[in-house]
Chain A
Amino acid sequence: MGKPRLEPGAVIDGFRLGEIVHRGGMSELWRVTRDGDDRSLLMKVPLIKEGADPAAVVGFEMEQMIMPRLSGPHVPKFIAAGDFAVQPYIVMERIEGQSLLPRLRHLPLPYDEVAEIGVRIATALDALHRQHVVHLDVKPSNIVLRPAGDAVLLDYGLAHHAQLPDLMQEEFRVPFGTAPYMSPEQLKGNRSDPRSDQFALGVLLYFFSTGRRPFGEGETLRAMRVRLWRDPEPPRKLRPDYPPWLQEAVLRCLEIEAAWRYPSAAQLAFDLSHPEQVKLTQRSERLRRDPITTVLRRRFNTDLKGPRRKTDAAAQVSSAPIVAAAVDLAGDASLNAALRTTTARILATVPSARLACLNINKQHRLAIDTTLDSAGQSKQVDRLVGLRHWAEPLKLDGARLTVHVLDAVDPADAILDFVRANRVDHLLIGARDPSLMRTLLGSVSAKVAAEAPCSVTIVRPQ
């Protein structure tokens, strides 16, 4: 069977080619349709000819292996793949919406918009990492926002799947990626660390909020290697009104050592969605780069440059869960103590976990909104103070602890909303004693346990 010609109207395995929407160095994208399928589809066809970049072939093979295994709203839905022996292709869902590339004309963007984009991308990265995949080419042109707001990550040609052969690594043994966005460890040939994607996202957030790329655009290996020891200019130096919380988050993403970044993309998303709760460290105050002595130490400290053990993205993420504890401050003291003991046990097993303490400020259905009057305000502060007091014996570093008061008519719904919006991995909640109230009103913990998308531990006093 001969190779079918690629032209509008041609039919390949039941897919009819429409217009060509993109012609790149390594592949072409065609709109395609299929009888009985009214979805909007794209066919990606690699350009494989004599003298073509061998990375195009291997990247396409990786994509053919990885894409069928991905699911969820943050990846284009995989439809079909074509055999290399005949006509290699991948047919996927066409995402409505634009990539982030056109936004480059409007930089710098407002800070809150940058944070919002950051939350969306970090959420998408977390979903990807949980599927054992590190993207390794996070940049504006590979990110599309769906009309509903979900970020979609495109192009898995450079990606690493912890449970599949890494054809890229073996084939080339040189770093592949997009120069301005490539992490230090990626430059050194480590393709398995999910925090490399966080670094690339840090570059994007820095660029979007300052209008400047933190490490320039140098494409030579020599130019790229500078980031192995040189930290970028702090954003506040470029824009004096730069919010400290945003600088804290962005510079943490850009830490040279992956271990100093956020332990998971979900934790980054958490900070970006709760600016007032970001623990400000010396990072947030920086107005100039590290002194030359520090840079020289990094430059010549071979300890930092040794090869690292391979990590599985999903294992790395699961070692850094977001744990939430729902605390009824007015409730039974022995129950609250038991809740704290159980929380301590769980945090002890996962040192990278962070804890969000929740308290519900129950609203009455017909009451007028009083949250903004002085009494309401002080009530809110009292509760926040109460939550910190409850958590104090846990001795958590400020970057690992946040407190939240949720106003709600239905406590269970409020807790469930928080769990979903913040990708909480494990929720701890106390069970009240069987009582007339519970019999009449139903149990909050039972509803939460039944409907939460995460693990739930129900705690009873000992």
Chain B
Amino acid sequence: MTKVNVKCAKRGRLSHDAMLIALFADIHANRQAFTACLDDARAHGAQRFVLLGDYVGYGGDPEWTLETVMALAGDGATAVLGNHDNAVADPHETMNVEAKVSLEWTRGELGKPARDFLTALPLTVTDNDRLYVHAEASHPKAWTYVTSTVEASRSIVATAAQVTFCGHVHRPAVYSLSAAAKMTAFTPVTGVPIPLLSGRRWLVVAGAVGQPRDGNPAASWLMFDTDRREITFRRSAYDIDGAAAAIRGKGLPAWLADRLFRGA
């Protein structure tokens, strides 16, 4: 991909102002986790929201989650398409068995406005020198996981962005490409700001709001300070019992509820 798809959801505008942007990925219909992250982000002074896809699937509250996402987008939040979101409308989307079960149920839960909203979501959004995308950016619709410097470098060189934010992996990570074309991988530490040095290019993998898989069950998100050019990963404790009860109550597989307690 040589040209980056420049689009903004709803009336989102490109801005040069210094601000705090909260980024959420892989909410996966987890109402309790999403609520906790939104509250936490606002308490930390978030002025804008970026939603990196996979609003539905796995979790028990897809309708509420999409209503909230649509309201945020209406207020200027940026939202991109995830593979689970795409699969709602596209029956050809390949999914693993576990995802399929919850997806079939999700399809029946969503009304037309929600389905239309998902269909209209862009694969990528560019804002200044930043790129927002759900998975590896060289072929966004291939939904490739960025789990090593190999995929990270492929993604970085395929776009013009200085910083790419993605999700999909459910484990936070930071990759950077130096001026001498060497890659660095790093697992961020919660609450410690990482400066995104201007001499290199960066790919930031947000953790998952609704289904963390890095062994820490707390919901994962991050803040980008556009003025200081620093990212800070955050973890928000949430009502896991409530989220698990919603999954079980909807008749979804119990292990989708169980894994939330382990963060795995």
Contacts and interface: CB of A to CB of B under 8 A. Distances in A.
Task: Tell me whether A and B are bound partners.
Answer: yes
Interface of A: 54, 57-58, 61, 64-65, 68, 83-85, 88, 162-167, 169-171
B198 A85 contact: yes
Given A57-B199, A84-B199, A171-B178, A165 B183 contact: no
B192 interface: yes
A163 B191 CA distance: 10
Contact of B174 (A65, A84, A165): A165
Nearest to B190: A163
Nearest to A57: B179
A166 B188 CA distance: 11
B180 interface: yes
24 contacts: A54-B180, A57-B199, A58-B180, A61-B197, A61-B199, A64-B195, A64-B197, A65-B194, A65-B195, A83-B198, A88-B199, A163-B189, A164-B192, A164-B194, A165-B174, A165-B176, A166-B186, A167-B176, A167-B184, A170-B182, A170-B185, A171-B178, A171-B180, A171-B184
A120 to B, nearest CB: 29
A84 B189 CA distance: 25
User: Which of the listed residues B176, B194, B197, B198 has the most CB atoms from chain A within 10 Å of its own CB?
Assistant: B197
A171 B200 CA distance: 12
A163 B192 contact: yes
Question: Looking at chain B's contact residues, is the secondary structure mostly helix, strand, loop, or mixed?
Answer: loop
Given A58-B180, A167-B184, A171-B184, 14 more contacts: A54-B180, A57-B179, A57-B199, A61-B199, A64-B195, A65-B195, A83-B198, A85-B198, A162-B189, A165-B176, A165-B184, A167-B176, A169-B184, A170-B182
Interface residues of B, number: 18
The 6 closest A-B pairs by CB, nearest first: A84-B199, A165-B186, A170-B184, A163-B189, A163-B192, A171-B182
B178 A58 contact: yes
Nearest to A58: B178
Contact of A61 (B174, B186, B192, B200): B200
Nearest to B149: A170
A163 B188 CA distance: 7
A162 B187 CA distance: 10
A88 B195 CA distance: 15
Nearest to B179: A57
- Greatest chain B CB density within 10 A among A54, A65, A83, A170 is at A170
Interface in B192-228: 192, 194-195, 197-200
Given A163-B189, A165-B176, A85 B199 contact: yes
B176 A84 contact: no
Contacts, number: 51
Nearest to B185: A170
A167 B195 CA distance: 12
Interface of B: 174, 176, 178-180, 182-186, 189, 192, 194-195, 197-200
Contacts of A83: 198
A contact patch SS: helix
Contacts of B180: 54, 57-58, 171
Contacts of B194: 65, 164-165
B129 to A, nearest CB: 11
A162 B174 CA distance: 14
A78 B189 CA distance: 23
Nearest to B174: A165
Nearest to A81: B195
Contacts of A64: 195, 197
Contact of B183 (A61, A65, A84, A170): A170
Interface hub of A58, A68, A165 (most chain B Cβ within 10 A): A165
Nearest to B180: A54
Nearest to B195: A65
Nearest to B197: A61
B181 to A, nearest CB: 10
B149 to A, nearest CB: 8
Nearest to B192: A163
Given A165-B184, A166-B184, A65 B178 contact: no
B172 to A, nearest CB: 13
Contacts of B176: 165, 167
B197 A84 contact: yes
A64 B229 CA distance: 13
Contacts of A169: 184
A164 B191 CA distance: 11
A68 B192 CA distance: 13
Contacts of A171: 178, 180, 182, 184
Contacts of B195: 64-65, 68
A45 B178 CA distance: 19
Contacts of B174: 165
A58 B184 CA distance: 12
Contacts of A54: 179-180
B152 to A, nearest CB: 12
Contacts of A164: 186, 192, 194
Nearest to A68: B195
Contacts of A166: 184, 186
A354 to B, nearest CB: 29
A67 to B, nearest CB: 11
Contacts of A58: 178, 180
B18 to A, nearest CB: 15
A167 B180 CA distance: 12
A61 B194 CA distance: 12
B173 to A, nearest CB: 10
A64 B197 CA distance: 8
A61 B186 CA distance: 15
B16 to A, nearest CB: 16
Most buried by A among B179, B192, B199: B199
A236 B185 CA distance: 47
A61 B176 CA distance: 12
